[in-house]
Amino acid sequence: MAIDQANLLLKRQLQELNKRPVEGFSAGLVDDENLLLWEVMVMGPPDSFYEGGFFKAHLIFPKEYPQKPPKMKFISEFWHPNVAKDGDVCISILHEPGEDKFGYERPEERWLPIHTVETILLSVISMINEPNDESPANVDAAKEWRDHYETAFKKNVRRCVRKSQEFL
């Protein structure tokens, strides 16, 4: 039953994104037979160090979607305080609903069943522009963001942008 609800909802969201694309990303299925695995192309936001980059990621939806959030993982190398070195994206909107046991996030900042693929990806684009270096998934990137923004951080991001363009 839950899988049917997830598939129905995801099918509707995919149709909506195809009808009304949103600037900054494109999304589609990895395999037409599996609505729970999406491939996303995130374009580096204008006026950011990531500008000009095309970063591939996967959205992996649980069978319990929309009651539980998907996971997002960059397949392309992505240097950012809120993206782990293995590509896992760490932002509030993708955290399980309810109270944060560490008291860092308010429940309304975490996953809510009203979120869609569009709201997730718009949150990711916002995260790219405004990292949260107080709760990093990549401590090294967060340290560079804080201490060496114009030098080491910028250099690492530009390297990722160049690598992302090699596959076009």
pLDDT one-digit tens code per residue, 66-115: 999 999 999 999 999 999 999 999 999 998 887 777 767 777 788 999 99
Q: Environment class of residue 105 by beta-carbon count within 10 Å: exposed (0-12), middle (13-18) or buried (19+)?
A: middle
Q: How many domains does the chain have?
A: 1
pLDDT one-digit tens code per residue, 55-72: 999 999 999 999 999 999
Furthest-apart CA atoms within the chain: distance in Å: 52
CATH number assigned to the domain comprising residue 14: 3.10.110.10
Residue 130: helix, strand or coil by DSSP?
Answer: coil
Containing structural domain, residue 157: 2-166
Residues labelled catalytic: 90
Q: How far apart are CA 21 and CA 166, in angstroms?
A: 25
Q: How far apart are CA 121 and CA 116, in angstroms?
A: 9
pLDDT at 146 over 90: yes
What does the mean pLDDT of the chain come to?
92
Can you give the pTM of this predicted structure? 0.92
